[in-house]
């Protein structure tokens, strides 16, 4: 426990610095704006086109949106450091690779949560217009944070592999898009392995939670993705030196 | 105490470091000297735990670098080559970040260090707006922030102006009274001015390892005496000097009007300046200038790395 506190202390210092970094350049604001415009469009298109006040369309497409936006958030986290050389300083500080990776994942997750938070306004507007089912909203936002953390871990891993941010983005995007879309191809697949594909699909687990049913399997899935990706990042940092 | 045993580092085919061993005792300022690509940066990067050696053992005090990297990193202050910092951060925030990680909670500490490194005026500037020299100073500030026992500086005066070079060298000497300092450089005067020990490396191997004064006075080589003499031709001088004991060679450098500039090579064991002077006086010539060339570190360096 004491050890865990020590690890988190170092990780939080990295997280704090990275989070401040997001807002010290226009990039952070640009990413948030782009996300909110698209999310707003998704929400209001069902609102006006079908006269339905609900968050379903928004949550339905959130994994796809995240697959695109989150690798853009994480791409710089290690690549930029490798590119400018600050990586050398970072790696010679008295921090473990666990702390560094955890800190960066936390920063990206918190940033993504800040990005998503304004969409709560949609939920409030739905509550005004029609009847709001609270369960799916809570589930949806909890799921959004878990999904963000998972994709952030994947994105950080992609970033740890290369000094080129564009390459980091493409790798992260490729992995996340597969996890987001894999269940969409289930029609072509024999029913026997459907459940396997469902199990590895982030979209499947997210949609479960977003329906308001939080199953331990879903939580275990996201936790596994976060832990495995972070371990892969740590391996990258340890081995490539 | 830092101990390095049979250190080898290969980058694929490139053998950057090829079996280096040395021990550095507490309180020494050691200069790592060598031409471009000699392996200085690679060696320092392994000492700090940034790079993993292909083989070999590095230890600091009782800790091994690959077993206890964190303990070692706590004891080391490191200025990497060309001081890569976080370009988007403000100098003050950057130092505060470093202080947090080093667990320094004394607010005065950053101020003191800023004064010591001469960066008080740039504390509220972004790092990417700083000139190279100021970046270097911020890098140095970061390295000494936590009062490390060991300072590892890769080309610390790179990019500094002459005044700042003197200041930083004085600072390094001051720090070297209590700390162990290893610095790399190609500047020989830097080693002469600051270090009490020199390790010269070339093509990944150590070619000399000695105290600075010892290395310079190493005997066995000729000593040169330069003279400018008036009212005589070179041939006459050569004839007269030939008879002196211990002279190996008299060379004609150039004639400048009435003056003849010569260089005398003598054996290292004798000082022939009085004899040369008397010879000139006895012949009634005029001596305009006589200097003895000391064997500079530059000579040693060239001998060891290029062989001339
Ligand atoms: N990351 C790397 N990948 C491949 N080769 C490398 C790498 N880093 C250094 N080298 C090679 O290793 C050798 C030693 O390089 P190093 O940077 O240690 O030299 P140096 O003594 O610090 O030189 P300088 O005085 O120019 O800073 C060089 O031949 C260099 O090209
Ligand atoms: Mg170098």
Could you report the per-residue pLDDT of A11-56, keeping only the tens digit for each?
A: 999 999 999 999 988 888 999 999 999 888 887 777 777 666 677 7
Phi then psi for residue A76, to 5 deg, are -80, -15
pLDDT for residue A118 is more than 90: yes
pLDDT digits (tens, 9 = 90+) for B116-163: 888 999 999 999 999 988 999 999 999 999 999 999 999 998 888 888
Residues B14 and B55 in one domain: yes
pLDDT for residue B40 is more than 90: yes
Who contacts B117 (Cβ-Cβ below 8 Å, separation ≥6)?
B137, B138, B140, B141, B144, B171
Which is more confident, B62 or A8?
A: A8
pLDDT for residue B220 is more than 60: no
pLDDT interval class at B217 (50, 70, 90)? low
Q: What is the mean pLDDT of residues A142-148?
A: 95
pLDDT digits (tens, 9 = 90+) for B167-213: 889 889 988 888 999 999 988 888 888 898 999 999 999 988 888 77
Domain that holds residue B7: 2-86+137-216
What is the count of structural domains for chain B? 2
pLDDT at position B9: 95
Residues B81 and B148 in one domain: yes
pLDDT for residue B243 is more than 90: no
Phi/psi region, residue A18 (left: phi>0; alpha: psi -120 to 50; beta: rest), is alpha
Q: What is the mean pLDDT of residues B245-269?
A: 85
pLDDT at position A232: 97
Contact A15, A110 (CB under 8 A): yes
Residues B155 and B241 in one domain: no
Residues B193 and B286 in one domain: no
Phi/psi region, residue B37 (left: phi>0; alpha: psi -120 to 50; beta: rest), is left
pLDDT interval class at B19 (50, 70, 90)? very high
- Reported pTM: 0.85
Contact A67, A151 (CB under 8 A): yes
Residues B82 and B187 in one domain: yes
Residues B41 and B144 in one domain: yes
Nearest to B260 by CA among B283, B241, B236: B236
Which is more confident, A191 or A72?
A: A72
Percent of chain B with pLDDT over 90: 49
Domain that holds residue A109: 2-239
pLDDT digits (tens, 9 = 90+) for A182-229: 877 766 667 777 777 778 889 889 998 988 888 899 999 999 999 999
The answer to whether B87 faces chain A, any CB pair under 8 Å, is yes
Both tokens assigned to B138: 């911020």
In a domain, B126, yes or no: no
pLDDT for residue A126 is more than 80: no
Percent of chain A with pLDDT over 70: 95
Percent of chain B with pLDDT over 70: 95
| CATH number, domain with residue B16 | 3.40.50.300
The answer to whether B66 faces chain A, any CB pair under 8 Å, is no
User: Ligand 2 centre and the CA of A163: distance in Å?
Assistant: 20
In a domain, B299, yes or no: no
Residues B8 and B48 in one domain: yes
Contact A148, A109 (CB under 8 A): yes
Contact A55, A210 (CB under 8 A): no
The answer to whether A94 faces chain B, any CB pair under 8 Å, is yes
Q: What is the mean pLDDT of residues A134-150?
A: 91
A13/B97 CB distance under 8 A = yes
Mutate to test the interface with A, among B100, B145, B152 (most CBs of A within 10 A): B100
pLDDT at position A165: 96
| CATH number, domain with residue B227 | 3.30.70.3190
pLDDT for residue A4 is more than 70: yes
Q: Count Cα neighbours of B227 within 13 Å in the Cβ-side half-sphere.
A: 27
Query: At which of B157, B184, B216 does a domain end?
Result: B216
pLDDT at position A226: 97
A84/B45 CB distance under 8 A = no
Name the residue of B33, B39, B202 whose CB sits within 8 Å of the most ligand 1 atoms, as the mutation to test its pocket: B39
Query: At which of B148, B182, B216 does a domain end?
Result: B216
Q: What is the mean pLDDT of residues B45-74?
A: 92
Residues B190 and B46 in one domain: yes
pLDDT at position A183: 78
pLDDT for residue B89 is more than 90: yes
Both tokens assigned to B240: 């007269």
pLDDT digits (tens, 9 = 90+) for A169-190: 999 999 999 999 887 776 666 7
pLDDT at position B70: 92
Residues B290 and B156 in one domain: no
Both tokens assigned to B121: 């005026």
Query: At which of B162, B193, B216 does a domain end?
Result: B216
In a domain, B101, yes or no: no
pLDDT at position B219: 44
pLDDT for residue A100 is more than 80: yes
Residues B259 and B276 in one domain: yes
pLDDT at position A186: 67
Q: Tell whether ligand 1 has an atom less than 6 A from the beta carbon of residue B164.
A: no
Q: What is the CA radius of gyration of chain A?
A: 19
Of B73, B85, B102, the CB nearest to A86: B85
d(CA B145, CA A143): 43
pLDDT interval class at B100 (50, 70, 90)? very high
pLDDT at position A44: 78
What is the count of structural domains for chain A? 1
Residues B265 and B240 in one domain: yes
What is the CA angle B154-B159-B164, rounded to 5? 95
Phi then psi for residue A161, to 5 deg, are -90, -25
Both tokens assigned to A116: 């998503």
In a domain, B77, yes or no: yes
């Amino acid at each position: 426990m004491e050890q865990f506190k020590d690890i988190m202390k170092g990780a939080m210092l990295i997280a704090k610095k990275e989070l401040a970094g997001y807002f010290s350049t226009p990039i952070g604001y640009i990413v948030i704006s782009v996300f909110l415009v698209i999310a707003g469009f998704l929400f209001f298109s069902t609102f006006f086109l079908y006269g339905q006040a609900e968050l379903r369309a928004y949550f339905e497409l959130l994994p796809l949106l995240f697959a695109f936006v989150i690798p853009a958030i994480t791409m710089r986290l290690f690549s930029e450091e490798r590119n400018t050389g600050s990586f050398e300083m970072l790696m010679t500080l008295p921090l473990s690779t666990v702390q560094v990776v955890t800190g960066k994942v936390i920063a990206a997750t918190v940033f993504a949560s800040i990005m998503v938070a304004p969409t709560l306004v949609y939920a409030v507007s739905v509550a005004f217009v029609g009847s709001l089912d609270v369960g799916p909203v809570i589930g949806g936002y909890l799921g959004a944070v878990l999904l963000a953390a998972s994709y952030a871990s994947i994105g950080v891993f992609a970033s740890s592999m290369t000094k080129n941010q564009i390459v980091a983005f493409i790798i992260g995007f490729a992995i996340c898009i597969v996890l987001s879309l894999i269940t969409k191809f289930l029609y072509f697949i024999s029913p026997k392995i459907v459940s396997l594909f469902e199990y590895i699909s982030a979209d499947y687990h997210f949609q479960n939670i977003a329906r308001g049913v939080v199953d331990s399997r879903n939580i275990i899935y996201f936790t596994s993705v976060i832990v495995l990706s972070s371990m892969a990042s740590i391996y990258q940092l340890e081995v490539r030196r | 105490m830092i101990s390095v045993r049979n250190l080898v580092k290969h980058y694929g085919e490139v053998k950057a470091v090829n079996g280096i061993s040395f021990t550095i005792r507490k309180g020494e300022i050691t200069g790592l000297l060598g031409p471009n690509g000699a392996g200085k940066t690679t060696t320092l990067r392994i000492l700090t735990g940034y790079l993993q050696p292909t083989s070999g053992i590095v230890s600091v005090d009782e800790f091994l670098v690959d077993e206890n990297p964190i303990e070692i990193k706590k004891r080391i202050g490191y200025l990497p080559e060309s001081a890569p910092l976080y370009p988007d951060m403000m100098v003050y925030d950057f130092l505060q970040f470093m202080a947090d990680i080093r667990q320094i909670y004394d607010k005065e500490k950053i101020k003191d260090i800023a004064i010591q490194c001469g960066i008080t005026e740039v504390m509220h500037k972004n790092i990417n707006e700083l000139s190279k020299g100021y970046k270097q100073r911020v890098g140095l500030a970061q390295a000494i922030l936590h009062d490390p026992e060991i300072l590892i500086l890769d080309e610390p005066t790179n990019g500094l102006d002459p005044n700042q070079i003197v200041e930083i060298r004085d600072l390094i000497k001051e720090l070297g009274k209590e700390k162990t300092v290893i610095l790399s450089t190609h500047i020989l005067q830097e080693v002469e001015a600051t270090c009490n020990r020199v390790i010269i490396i070339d093509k990944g191997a150590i070619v000399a390892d000695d105290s600075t004064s010892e290395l310079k006075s190493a005997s066995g080589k000729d000593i040169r005496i330069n003279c400018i003499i008036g009212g005589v031709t070179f041939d006459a001088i050569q004839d007269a000097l030939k008879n002196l004991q211990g002279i190996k060679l008299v060379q004609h450098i150039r004639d400048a009007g009435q003056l003849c500039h010569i260089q005398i090579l003598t054996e290292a064991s004798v000082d022939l300046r009085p004899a040369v002077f008397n010879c000139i006086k006895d012949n009634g010539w005029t001596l305009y200038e006589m200097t003895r060339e000391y064997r500079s570190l530059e000579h040693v360096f060239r001998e060891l790395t290029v062989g001339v």
